[in-house]
């Protein structure tokens, strides 16, 4: 039995401003017009025999995004396992192995990052089948990509002795400089490290006990202290916080004598930065070498990648640039420096600016909202509530709200500030109707209809921060003590 483990904990900071901490690249449609990278990861499992529904590991901020994107595919996950904090792949996979052992006696775990592109799913599945025979013989398998260029952005694996249809791992090698990468390419003995693995759950835990017992001990304590929240399994926070951060490569694969590698060439790309996406899309570029997405006009420009999301972008007389436009930020970089985009994100963090973390459009389990205007004492938002969804029953200490329905039907619940002693009334609003929620009033917004509810919210008050909220009830289980900045609005 194979249980796919989809690792969905990355932030994709090198793909800023499209990828941000609260909505990172695995949830974006970067390679397809119809599916996100996470959804593509799950879909490529179709046709793999003896394969259960995926077990997804993610952080608490992204739990509803994962659930919604799987639901869109009609996929019911085996588990959605929540990491209390990021501790790299070795601890995350320890939790996943423990969860998998509750589903099967000793399943094989197919570990896949949620944010990679694999264009030839059948070639990928064939490599997995090769790996299964090695795992049955007692190996921990990683999958190596046959290199096509002397890439300096990837780690490498040096092949050792032949093992069935794979090779013993001779060494894991850090990202090389250009000269050494060329030597690796020329030798034919090196593969790119894909970060995809296959092994049995019990053997992985046994290897951790041998080479990283402190990680295993912390993860066992954390999993023992787990709790279930709706469809999510939340590992114990305190024990996991005490676990050191380490990758599976360092903690296990570089230590064990049982590591094997299966070469494959399935059209793999980790889309680590904008230059990687440009390379993927440039095959469809015009004669001038330009690749464009969205509303873009170019003149006397060559070999550029230009993406527009909200307005016209025009460029004249420029070459080899990456230009990315969103509704609140624009990135311009030479292709050779695309990997350095992360430095901009770090600077935004240092300056305490919100653009590194959230888009203007912020997603919630019930839908999304978009900030349209913000100024001293007021702000205006567009709020979209999906059919059948409902916001929490809540109140605000510092702001009042005026709602105007522009599409659909809203059910509004509101009442006195002291919910225990006060009465809550419920009424419907249709298009072009409005209501006023005064400061301190308990209220809730629902969409009882079959089409999205769209309304304009005007907030007024002395403080308009997203943390001005007191929840009394929430169908998504978002308790006030669990708010983390991603779930503070409604």
User: Which of these, 92, 18, 107, lies nearest to 58 by C-alpha position?
Assistant: 92
Contact 193, 249 (CB under 8 A): yes
On whether residue 487 sits in a domain, the answer given is no
Which one of 269, 295, 317 terminates a domain? 269
On whether residue 305 sits in a domain, the answer given is yes
What six digits make up the tokens of 341? 């985009």
Residue 479: band (very low, low, confident or very high) from pLDDT cuts 50, 70, 90: low
- CA-to-CA distance for 37 and 118, rounded, in angstroms? 10
pLDDT (tens digit per residue) in 73-107: 999 999 999 999 999 999 999 999 999 999 999 99
Q: Give the mean pLDDT of 105-113.
A: 97
Judgement on whether residues 375 and 424 belong to the same structural domain of the protein: yes
Which one of 313, 342, 371 terminates a domain? 342
- Map residue 99 onto helix, strand or coil: helix
Strands (E), 340-398: 361-364, 367-375, 378-385, 393-395
The residue that leads in pLDDT, 490 or 385, is 385
pLDDT (tens digit per residue) in 163-197: 888 999 999 999 999 999 999 999 999 999 999 99
Express as a percent the part of the chain with pLDDT over 90.
Answer: 82
- Looking at residue 432, the DSSP 8-state letter turns out to be T
pLDDT over 70 (residue 420): no
Domain of 140, CATH number, reads: 3.90.550.10
On whether residue 14 sits in a domain, the answer given is yes
pLDDT (tens digit per residue) in 270-311: 999 999 999 888 877 778 999 999 999 999 999 999 999 999
What six digits make up the tokens of 457? 């919210």
Judgement on whether residues 336 and 369 belong to the same structural domain of the protein: no
What's residue 103's pLDDT? 95
Judgement on whether residues 252 and 202 belong to the same structural domain of the protein: yes
Beta pairing class for 79-83 and 232-234? parallel
On whether residue 221 sits in a domain, the answer given is yes
What's residue 231's pLDDT? 80
Residue 150 CA, distance from chain mean position: 28
Judgement on whether residues 23 and 143 belong to the same structural domain of the protein: yes
Contact 447, 390 (CB under 8 A): yes
Where does residue 83 fall: left (phi above 0), alpha (psi -120 to 50 degrees), or beta otherwise?
A: beta
pLDDT over 60 (residue 47): yes
Average per-residue pLDDT in the chain?
92
What six digits make up the tokens of 269? 């790309």
Judgement on whether residues 178 and 301 belong to the same structural domain of the protein: no
pLDDT over 90 (residue 41): yes
What's residue 165's pLDDT? 86
pLDDT over 90 (residue 153): no
User: Which of these, 236, 45, 172, 198, lies nearest to 110 by C-alpha position?
Assistant: 198
Residue 360: band (very low, low, confident or very high) from pLDDT cuts 50, 70, 90: confident
Residue 442 CA, distance from chain mean position: 34
Judgement on whether residues 57 and 133 belong to the same structural domain of the protein: yes
Question: Measured between alpha carbons, how far is residue 430 from residues 346, 393, 406 in Å?
Answer: 45, 20, 8
Residue 482: band (very low, low, confident or very high) from pLDDT cuts 50, 70, 90: very low
On whether residue 275 sits in a domain, the answer given is no
Judgement on whether residues 62 and 148 belong to the same structural domain of the protein: yes
Judgement on whether residues 245 and 312 belong to the same structural domain of the protein: no
On whether residue 250 sits in a domain, the answer given is yes
What's residue 466's pLDDT? 81
Residue 488: band (very low, low, confident or very high) from pLDDT cuts 50, 70, 90: very low
On whether residue 350 sits in a domain, the answer given is no
- CA-to-CA distance for 156 and 177, rounded, in angstroms? 12
pLDDT over 60 (residue 263): yes
- CA-to-CA distance for 200 and 261, rounded, in angstroms? 15
Residue 490: band (very low, low, confident or very high) from pLDDT cuts 50, 70, 90: low
pLDDT (tens digit per residue) in 377-415: 999 999 999 999 999 999 999 999 999 999 999 999 998
Range of 37's domain?
2-269
Contact 155, 261 (CB under 8 A): no
> Does 17 sit behind a cis peptide bond, omega within 30 degrees of 0 on the bond before it?
yes
What six digits make up the tokens of 329? 């930020």
Judgement on whether residues 236 and 329 belong to the same structural domain of the protein: no
- Looking at residue 251, the DSSP 8-state letter turns out to be I
Domain of 468, CATH number, reads: 2.60.120.10
What's residue 421's pLDDT? 53
Residue 483: band (very low, low, confident or very high) from pLDDT cuts 50, 70, 90: very low
Question: Measured between alpha carbons, how far is residue 30 from residues 27, 278, 283, 396 in Å?
Answer: 9, 11, 15, 38
- CA-to-CA distance for 92 and 9, rounded, in angstroms? 9
Which one of 269, 297, 326 terminates a domain? 269
Judgement on whether residues 253 and 291 belong to the same structural domain of the protein: no
User: Which of these, 214, 273, 257, lies nearest to 239 by C-alpha position?
Assistant: 214
Judgement on whether residues 304 and 431 belong to the same structural domain of the protein: no
The structural domain count of the chain equals 3
Q: Flag the least confident range among 74-78, 139-143, 154-158, 417-421.
A: 417-421
On whether residue 354 sits in a domain, the answer given is no
Judgement on whether residues 108 and 230 belong to the same structural domain of the protein: yes
């Amino acid at each position: 039995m194979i249980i796919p483990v989809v690792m969905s904990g990355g932030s994709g900071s090198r793909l800023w401003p499209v990828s941000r901490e609260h909505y990172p690249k695995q949830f974006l449609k970067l390679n397809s017009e119809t599916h996100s990278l996470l959804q593509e990861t799950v879909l490529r499992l179709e046709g793999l025999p003896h394969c259960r529904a995926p077990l997804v590991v993610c952080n608490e901020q992204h739990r509803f995004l994962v659930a919604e994107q799987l639901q869109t595919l009609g996929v019911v996950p085996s588990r959605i396992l929540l990491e209390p904090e990021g501790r790299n792949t070795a601890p995350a996979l320890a939790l996943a192995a423990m969860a998998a052992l509750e589903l099967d006696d000793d399943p094989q775990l197919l570990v896949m990052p949620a944010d990679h592109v694999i264009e030839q799913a059948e070639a990928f599945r064939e490599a997995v089948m090769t790996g299964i025979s090695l795992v049955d013989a007692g190996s921990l398998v990683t999958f190596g990509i046959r290199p096509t260029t002397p890439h300096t952005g990837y780690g490498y694996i040096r092949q050792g002795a032949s093992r069935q249809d794979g090779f013993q791992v001779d060494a894991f090698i850090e990202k090389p400089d250009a000269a050494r990468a060329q030597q690796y390419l020329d030798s034919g003995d090196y593969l790119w490290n894909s970060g995809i693995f296959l092994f049995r759950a019990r053997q992985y835990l046994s290897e951790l006990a041998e080479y990283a017992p402190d990680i295993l001990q912390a993860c066992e304590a954390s999993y023992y202290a787990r709790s279930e929240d709706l469809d999510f399994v939340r590992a114990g926070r305190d024990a996991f916080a005490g676990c050191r951060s380490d990758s599976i490569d360092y903690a296990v694969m570089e230590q064990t004598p049982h590591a094997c590698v299966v070469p494959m060439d399935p059209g793999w790309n980790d889309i680590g930065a904008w230059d990687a996406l440009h390379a993927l899309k440039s095959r469809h570029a015009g004669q001038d070498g330009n690749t464009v997405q969205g509303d873009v006009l170019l003149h006397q420009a060559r070999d550029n990648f230009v993406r527009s999301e909200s307005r016209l972008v025009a460029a004249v007389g420029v070459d080899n640039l990456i230009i990315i436009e969103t509704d609140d930020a624009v990135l311009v970089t030479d292709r050779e420096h695309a990997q350095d985009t992360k430095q901009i994100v770090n600077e935004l963090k240092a300056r305490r600016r919100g653009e590194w973390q959230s888009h203007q459009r912020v997603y919630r389990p019930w839908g999304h909202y978009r900030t349209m205007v913000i100024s001293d004492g007021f702000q205006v938002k567009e709020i979209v509530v999906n059919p059948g969804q409902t916001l929490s029953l809540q109140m605000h200490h510092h702001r009042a709200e005026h709602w105007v329905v522009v599409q659909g039907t809203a059910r509004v619940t509101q009442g006195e500030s002291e919910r225990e002693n006060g009465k809550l009334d419920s009424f419907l609003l249709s298009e072009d109707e409005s209501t006023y929620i005064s400061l301190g009033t308990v209220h809730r917004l629902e969409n009882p209809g079959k089409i999205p509810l769209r309304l304009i919210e005007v907030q007024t008050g002395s403080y308009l921060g997203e943390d001005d909220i007191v929840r009394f009830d929430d169908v998504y289980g978002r308790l006030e003590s669990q708010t983390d900045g991603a779930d503070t609005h409604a």
